[in-house]
Structure formats: structure tokens, C-alpha cells
Amino acid sequence: MATVSFTIDGKNVMAEEGTSLLEAAKSAGIEIPHLCYMEGLATGACRLCVVEVEGQKNLAASCVFPVANKLVVKTATERVIRARKNVIELLLSDHPLDCMTCEKSGACGLEKYAYELGVTGSRFAGERHHYPLDDTNPFFFRDYNKCILCGRCVLACNDVQFVEAINFAHRGFGCKIAAPYDRSLKDSTCIFCGQCVASCPTGALVEKSRCAAGREWDLQKVTTTCSYCGVGCTLELSVKDGRIVKVTTPADAVVNKGRLCVKGRFGWDYVHSPERLTAPLIRVGEKGEGKFREATWDEALDLVARKFSEIKSESGSDSLACLSSAKCTNEENYLVQKFVRAVLGTNNVDHCARL
């Protein structure tokens, strides 16, 4: 694409034609407040990202306004700041002011920009929503009272995951994000990937495991790799007092680009299961018919190696076989088949995903 040159806050910026002003400003190190924008996706709904463009009568939503040659853009004029404050006040006019107990406090976009703009309340009195908390989903709560209709969850569901389980429903004051016919998500095409939860800038969507489990600033972030399959998605564990509170993933993760499936995002409770094996077990007693006892890894691996050698010497290499798993990485599966062929001396190796 052609490159265009323009000015943002007196700084000369180069960007590809078709890039939005917000993305161009971001690449130049200039932050423009936004609530409805996600990486590469925007609805232009929140209007918090408005800027002044020389020659334009109205303020422009920078997330959907394309760059052009010789544009002169100002992101923090008095008019722009006043408009952003009005947007925040309008949102707060129908939003619970319960930041002290909200699970999203510390990671809420609305809270962040209200603080930065110095907005402590709203001048706009009027009717407010009083939706009941929706806890029918097995993995997360839906609190419509905290929804600001930014549309990010809709973008995540429809344009990132391509599931199309939710969209805007009804009109005017009754507008809300809902599954078809305003039914439960379990009665829709939802695959419970939780991408909508990850995209929500407020406390409208919150993981059930997250509730009453610590404040955002108390959580330690630990980066690891998902153990469910061989794709190797990057996970970011939020941990408090040695226990996982929730699982997210960085937007710039090399493998999964900020996306996770239902297992990776919500299927981690096995980590703290009392039935989880945390050490190798060896069966004791005559002919191995007794109870299990804990053993060290060296002891367990020595036993396995000895048994392999005994079977190989007594019955031959072809009496042994190995079944590998799609939950391993390609490198691990390669090592398994190499071990079977080079060490055990047999070609009896198969894979659970072969068929």
C-alpha cells in the first residue's frame, strides 16, 4: 500500500494508506483514549477516541477515520477533552459506581479514563437499567448493568472467532448484547471460548473463578504454555497465594495471537485438584499387586528402563509398542518415535491422531 505523511500533535507521522488515525497514532507512541477499539477492529461506537482534524467541522472518531496525506490532527485540545468527558459522563449515567467491589477494578477501561479525565460522576440523571445478574453460563457472569455497548465482545465473537453467537439486540434504551432471541448462550452457537470475556473493557463479563479471589493489583502474572494439545498456545496465568485465579493470553502471543479455546481458558481447575498426581507412583508388593507408594523420578525412570530391558531381552523388541499423543509437541513426538526405533529397536509406534 502507498505511504502517506501527516501531522499528529505537531509530530510528523508516516503510515500506510487505509490505516486508522488511532492505529497510526499508536505506532507513533501517541495514546488516544478508546473503549470500543481492539487491535485491527473497531466499531466507532464509544466516541471516546475523537480528535480534531483540520478542515473537518465535526470531531472525528480516530478508530475509524483513515489517514490521508497532509492531515493535521490534534488529539488533546480543549474541545476534544470536553467531548471525552461528556462521553464518560453519559456512560456513567447508566453504570453502577461500585468500583470498590467490582472484580474488574484496576483493569477497567471505563475506570481508567474516568480517572485520567477527572470524571467522578455524571450530570445526566435519568432512567437506569436494573438487569438481574446472569449466572447461567458455567464459566463467567454477565452483568448487563455494567455493559457500555462498546461492541468489542461482538467483534471478538463474530470477526475473531467467527462464531456469531451474540450481537446487538433491540433498539434505543432497551439495546443490549444478546444471543439470538435473547436466549441463554448455551442455546446458541457459543463455544464458550471466552474471547468475549477477554475483550470486555468493563466488569460486564467476568470469569466465575475470578470472583472474590483477589484484586487485579494483587495478581502475579506467570507466562506458560497450554498443556491440552500440541498447538502450544501461550497462557498468562493470574496467580494469588499460589493458586490460579484466571487464565488469559497476550494479544501479541506468537502462536495464538490472543485467542484461546474453552479448554485453555477455563479448563485449568485440574491444577488444584486433590486427585492430581504430583509425584511418580510405584506399585509395591508381590508381583506389583500391592498398593502404590510415592517414588522419586530417578527411581521411577530406573524401574521403567529396567522393565523395558527385561521385556526386550526375554521377548524381543517387537513385543514392545508405543502410542504417542497429539497433546505433545511435534518435537516431543519426534523424540518418542526416535526412542522407540533407536533404543527399543522396534517400529511399533503409532499416534492417537493418525486416523
Strands (E), 281-352: 281-283, 292-294, 322-324, 349-351
pLDDT, tens digit (0-9, with 9 covering 90-100), for 69-115: 999 999 999 999 999 999 999 999 999 999 999 999 999 999 999 99
Assess contact for 153 and 205: CB atoms under 8 A. Answer: yes
Q: State the pLDDT at residue 288.
A: 56
pTM of the model: 0.84
Residues 301-326, mean pLDDT to the nearest whole number: 94
Work out the burial of residue 336: count CB atoms within 10 Å of its CB; fewer than 13 is exposed, 13-18 middle, 19 or more buried.
middle
Residue 310 identity (one-letter amino acid): E
Assess contact for 245 and 263: CB atoms under 8 A. Answer: no
pLDDT, tens digit (0-9, with 9 covering 90-100), for 113-170: 999 999 998 999 889 999 999 999 999 999 999 999 999 999 999 999 999 999 999 9
Q: Which single residue is written with the C-alpha cell 436466549?
A: 183
Please determine, for residue 355, whether its predicted confidence score (pLDDT) is greater than 70: no
Closest to 178 in 3D by CA, of 153, 203, 148: 153
Which class in CATH covers the domain with range 3-76? Answer: alpha beta
Q: State the pLDDT at residue 286.
A: 66
pLDDT, tens digit (0-9, with 9 covering 90-100), for 219-261: 999 999 998 887 889 999 999 999 999 999 999 999 999 999 9
Q: Which single residue is written with the C-alpha cell 470469569?
A: 207
What the block records as the C-alpha cell of 85 is 468527558
The residue ranges of every structural domain in the chain are 3-76, 128-271, 277-315, 317-355
Domain 128-271 grouped into CATH 3.40.605.10: no
